[in-house]
């Protein structure tokens, strides 16, 4: 089973915590790291914007990705939230097995 690292950014700690808790409780993710606030500069609807955001690193499997994406979209206030899934090509086998075991529906 392929392990994924899914990244999203949240507008504040409250939403970051809500998303993290919801996806772990639903077994859509084995673990979520809530990172310190970052400053994002981006173009949105033709205008350059700047916003403070809270990044999340979400560990899951490819089988859970569709439901995870749907849950993030449900809870996220952005019209188009950043949701990027990166394949984990290598890792400690015991950790990758743990991610798979903790996300079995």
Give the single-character DSSP code of 105: -
**Residue 103 near residue 29, CB atoms below 8 Å:** yes
Residue 66 backbone dihedrals phi, psi, to 5 degrees = -55, -45
| pLDDT tens, residue by residue, 63-104 | 999 999 999 999 999 999 999 999 999 999 999 999 999 999
| pLDDT tens, residue by residue, 12-67 | 999 999 999 999 999 999 999 999 999 999 999 999 999 999 999 999 999 999 99
Q: Which two tokens stand for residue 102?
A: 């903790």
Q: Tell me the domains of the chain and their CATH numbers.
A: 3-102 (3.30.70.120)
């Amino acid at each position: 089973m392929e392990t994924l690292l899914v990244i999203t950014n949240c507008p504040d700690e409250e939403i970051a915590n809500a998303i993290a808790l919801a996806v772990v409780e639903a077994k859509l993710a084995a673990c979520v790291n809530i990172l310190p606030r970052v400053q994002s500069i981006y173009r949105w609807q033709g205008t350059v914007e700047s916003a403070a955001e809270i990044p999340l690193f979400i560990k899951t499997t490819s089988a859970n990705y569709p439901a995870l994406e749907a849950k993030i979209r449900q809870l996220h206030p952005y019209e188009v939230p950043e949701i990027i899934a990166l394949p984990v090509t290598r890792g400690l086998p015991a950790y990758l097995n743990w991610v798979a075991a903790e996300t079995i529906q």
